[in-house]
A and B are shown apart, each in its own frame.
Chain A
């Protein structure tokens, strides 16, 4: 059976896996973005706290995915829980780092001007600082999403959802006629998903980055 016949025969299962893969990454990324921006907002004003947040998230990223999942399994069991926790943790770093760098990079004279026209602290944050820091934050989200695509594939080993299952099924049946088809379908599927997400972020960028600071 060649690759196209395999795709035609299994497209239902593959589409379900692809959907679950994309949805796991998307949901974890959404949580990671909210948490990451909140951490960034809470820590960027203090040199000490900001560096601590960056160092802590960088340390998490140094930990290999399979080992982090391995440490989570005794605590939360197999399946969706370790996948979601691991993906969210790994998604945090690029967002936190870029949020802190972006927020610190906002021209202080703009914040001063906002204070001068009587804006409150929350208004300054929401209407001046965050919009100006949004492009680097979006870059962080893009980088994190690409990374999560690969990590989600590994999480399938701990009975997580997604296209990783197809790859592992292929690895488990090495030598059989379908092994290559399965691995190829899983890998290419993840690459396609990653590129689709990337294109979506470019679109989101065009729609959400204020016109005045668009490059």
Chain B
């Protein structure tokens, strides 16, 4: 959920990497964490889960549905999904953020437009196609699914990092150099602290993208909640389908909510809007 005025932290990198994307007009400064932000979404999610549970209590499941949901398969799928998301997010961040920092150093600055063009091209690649190609190349299994999820999210986070580091006020960097800081000092003591909000936004983008792409891992034999959804569709069993979809939606919204809280709470005090 996006707090008022925080347009640039929306879950998808939609338009943020476009030079002509409009700037948000400065709204009233949002409070650090309002009570609405803390309560509304969790309450809605609990209500949804409760409603699904009640519906399941009275729904009579046939053998096929019961088979698909029995033996801890639901919790296994949920756990696999969380693992896929966490592992892929970790790798996306350790690949994309250092690469973004590297590409904005003077020595590599000439490579930046190339990387950005590449990143924009990557946006046009369908996630399912990428995953399918990796499965053919690496064989079916969790590894192919994970690599697909990572590759799909690296480019948006990379272009976010580059855009953010470039947006740092050049006069501040100039001042830092002027008082005799070394390039490493400028990077670690000025540029990176200034870029913390941006890195947190990258974490959020990666998490939300990965929760979504992880539903496709089932097509590469990677498990996850997509298993329930595809089983429900192919076997025409609506309870299985609905349970898988509801759990995926709740997980995605929860992850986004946690990331948005982290974004507000971990931001350095000096950078509070």
Binding site for B on A (CB under 8 A): 47, 51, 54-55, 58-59, 61-68, 70-71, 73-74, 78, 93-94, 97-98, 101-102, 104-105, 135-136, 139-140, 142-144, 146-147, 149-150, 153-154, 157-158, 164, 167-168, 170-171, 174, 179-180, 183-184, 186-187, 190-191, 194-195, 198, 215
Q: Interface extent on B, as a size class? A: 35 or more
Taking a contact as CB atoms under 8 Å apart, the answer to whether B252 and A70 are in contact is no
Taking a contact as CB atoms under 8 Å apart, the answer to whether B233 and A98 are in contact is no
List CB contacts (< 8 Å) of B1-24 with chain A.
1-2, 4-5, 7, 10-12, 14-15, 18, 20-24
In the complex, residue of chain A having the shortest beta-carbon distance to the beta carbon of B256: A62
Identify which of B15, B208, B238 contacts A98 (C-beta below 8 A): B15
Instruction: Please judge, given known A-B contacts A62-B253, A143-B15, A147-B12, whether A187 and B212 are in contact too, CB under 8 Å.
Output: no
Taking a contact as CB atoms under 8 Å apart, the answer to whether B252 and A67 are in contact is yes
Known pairs A59-B253, A136-B20, A171-B132; list 5 more (Cβ under 8 Å): A61-B11, A73-B238, A101-B22, A140-B15, A147-B14
Taking a contact as CB atoms under 8 Å apart, the answer to whether B135 and A171 are in contact is yes
Judged by a CB distance under 8 angstroms, whether B39 is at the interface is no
Taking a contact as CB atoms under 8 Å apart, the answer to whether B230 and A191 are in contact is no
Binding site for A on B (CB under 8 A): 1-2, 4-5, 7, 10-12, 14-15, 18, 20-25, 27, 121, 123-130, 132-133, 135-136, 140, 208, 211-213, 215-216, 219, 225-226, 229-230, 232-233, 238, 241-242, 244-246, 248-249, 252-253, 256
| Nearest chain B CB to A165 CB, angstrom units | 11
